[in-house]
Amino acid sequence: MNKKVLITGVTGQVGSQLADYILENTDLDVVGMMRWQEPMDNLYHLSDRINRKDRISIYYADLNDFSAMARMLTEIRPNFISHLAAQSYPKTSFNIPIETLQTNIIGTANLLEAIRQLKELNDYNPVVHICSSSEVYGRAKPGTPLSEETAFHGASPYSISKIGTDYLGRFYGEAYGIRTFVTRMGTHSGPRRSDVFFESTVAKQIALIEAGLQEPFIRVGNLSSTRTFQDARDAVRAYFLLLLESEKGKIPCGEYFNIAGEEVFQLPDVINIMLEMSTVSGIQVVTDQDRMRPIDADYQMFDNAKIKQAIQWKPEIPARKMFKDLLDHWRDEISKGKIPLNR
């Protein structure tokens, strides 16, 4: 019987791409956790395999239901868990702060506590990846690249929720010997990136303009941020390699890692790159106050030294290819008649 990887948040960009990576590169089985009402857009290409239970299946559960977490783990007993489910939109978190904190902190605690109880009762001890975020560093001072020891500074309810998630992953590893590790991924993108994120809404708007569905104006929020970008397909490879190294006992329980791209951009540069790829000329950029956050994380430059010491990994997909793939993703979606909201 194949070993199993449980992916919470499997319907998201990163969760679905991690499922793709495992199915294409290993003989492990994938169990994707999702809430029953979530959209399946990112998994439609796997529908036939899911229906046939060809190394991938779906388990319906909700992080906020402890009994569901306990039942899921008892029934599945996955060897590996990659916990990616979250309310993951920083700007949205200003509007729904309580839900963000509940899902990301209490939801993670529900999962880890269910693992702890099973470990004590049944000697069950899977490898557990806890997905934090580079947003934990928040309003960091520009200058030195951010290392894992840089102080946290929450700049949104989302980043505060991920600080809690981060500490929970480390605590359950250190206190109870659960084989957890925590990742803080920097800005990541590529196909399937939600349109609530900066570079994806830019790509979406360009695709809408090319299709004649939007006037030739791109509406954006704060453009003062400097950050690294990486393709999510590179990041999931790092996630998987960390799972394997942790299983071998080479990563201490509760260890934590930055995972970031190494190509640096100011946000206006990202817009210009994608405008150069557009089939329409003369597109203008307009500041939209509704897209502004009350407080923002303007400096996101990271030190990857620690993760490179733990695994043989580095980003491989060039940022320009990532932006092109993202733009093509939106062109393809719109060509199918899927007209996205203007957000």
Whether the predicted pLDDT of 143 surpasses 80: no
Nearest in space to 263 (alpha carbons), one of 205, 321, 206: 321
Kindly state whether residue 103 falls inside one of the protein's structural domains.
Answer: yes
Return the CATH number at 106. 3.40.50.720
Kindly state whether residue 292 falls inside one of the protein's structural domains.
Answer: no
Kindly state whether residue 32 falls inside one of the protein's structural domains.
Answer: yes
**Amino acid, single-letter form, for residue 26:** T
What are the pLDDT digits (tens) for 75-130?
A: 999 999 999 999 998 888 999 999 999 999 999 999 999 999 999 998 899 999 99
Kindly state whether residue 255 falls inside one of the protein's structural domains.
Answer: yes
Residue the block writes with tokens 């590893």: 173
3-state class (DSSP) for residue 139 = coil
Question: Torsion angle of alpha carbons 185, 235, 189, 19, nearest 10°?
Answer: -120
Query: pTM value?
Result: 0.94
> Based on the structure, what is the number of domains in the chain?
1
Kindly state whether residue 223 falls inside one of the protein's structural domains.
Answer: no
Angstrom distance (rounded) from CA 266 to CA 222: 11
Kindly state whether residue 207 falls inside one of the protein's structural domains.
Answer: no
Give the residue numbers spanning the domain of 16. Answer: 4-188+231-259
Please report the pLDDT score of residue 284 as a whole number. 95
Kindly state whether residue 210 falls inside one of the protein's structural domains.
Answer: no
Nearest in space to 105 (alpha carbons), one of 133, 124, 79: 133
Kindly state whether residue 106 falls inside one of the protein's structural domains.
Answer: yes
**Would residue 337 be called left, alpha or beta, if left means φ above 0 and alpha means ψ between -120 and 50 degrees?**
left
What are the pLDDT digits (tens) for 281-328?
A: 999 999 888 776 666 666 678 889 999 999 999 999 999 999 999 999
